[in-house]
Amino acid sequence: DQQVKQNSPSLSVQEGRISILNCDYTNSMFDYFLWYKKYPAEGPTFLISISSIKDKNEDGRFTVFLNKSAKHLSLHIVPSQPGDSAVYFCAASVPSGTYKYIFGTGTRLKVLA
Amino acid sequence: EPEVTQTPSHQVTQMGQEVILRCVPISNHLYFYWYRQILGQKVEFLVSFYNNEISEKSEIFDDQFSVERPDGSNFTLKIRSTKLEDSAMYFCASSVKAEQPQHFGDGTRLSIL
């Protein structure tokens, strides 16, 4: 099942710079996308979401961009902070009755002080 | 901030034994989910539950699995006769509405010996 892919397993960024995490999907029926952050020994924590009717959603330091024609979404974190170091998962869902999520494999972000 | 709580944090069980994983979703949430993550793999959807019945289940969720909301606050996942391949992190999640973000617990690590 490769419907949601995160091709970069890891990313290192200097504190204060921009972190860009990428996610590609194959199912054109997906209409809702989310980013989650996960620390070790904790569950995924919701960060930000975007509906397919939008191409951008912003919440503080986090912005998600959606390019439907390319079936690509990205998460921008500006400025990056050491506390942002975690594994980031993108997830997608179809508008079925229960909105089950299909997750990517995750990208481990390390923000260097 | 309200959170989803899961118990136990770690469960070790002999193969063939029954196991019950417990979750207390956020109190005003109406949609409940179980996901699992086998070590090194993606987070996978198992089952969704709404209005006291299963809304959707994956191929993984076979006859050995069942879910229950016995008392209006707990949400449980039972595996009747565990197999070695059931070893994984099991995450419970809940949402206010199906189209709202799901909030995850910290998971139960299930180890089958």
CB contact under 8 A, A46 and B42: no
pLDDT for res A99: 85
pLDDT for res B72: 79
> Chain A: nearest CA to B102, how far in angstroms?
7
Return mean pLDDT, chain A.
94
CB contact under 8 A, B48 and A49: no
Please count the residues of chain B: 113
Return the residue in B4, B31, B38, B42 with the most chain A beta carbons within 10 A, the one to mutate for interface testing.
B42
CB pairs under 8 A between A and B: 61
Contact A14, A112 (CB under 8 A): yes
What are the tens digits of pLDDT across the range B20-41? 999 999 999 999 999 999 998 9
Nearest residue to A46 (alpha-carbon basis) of B50, B88, B7, B1: B1
Distances (CA, A) of A103 to A4, A23, A48, B52: 6, 10, 14, 26
Please list every residue in chain B whose beta carbon sits closer than 8 Å to the beta carbon of residue A106: 42
pLDDT for res A1: 55
Nearest Cβ partner of B48 from A34, A98, A104? A98
Q: Residue range A85-103: average pLDDT?
A: 90
Residue B34 CA to residue B28 CA, distance in Å, equals 18
What are the tens digits of pLDDT across the range B64-102? 999 999 887 899 999 999 999 999 999 999 999 988 999
Q: Does B65 touch chain A (CB under 8 A)?
A: no
Residue A49 CA to residue A82 CA, distance in Å, equals 22
Residue B59 CA to residue A50 CA, distance in Å, equals 28
Q: Provide the pairing of β-strand B10-13 with B108-112.
A: parallel
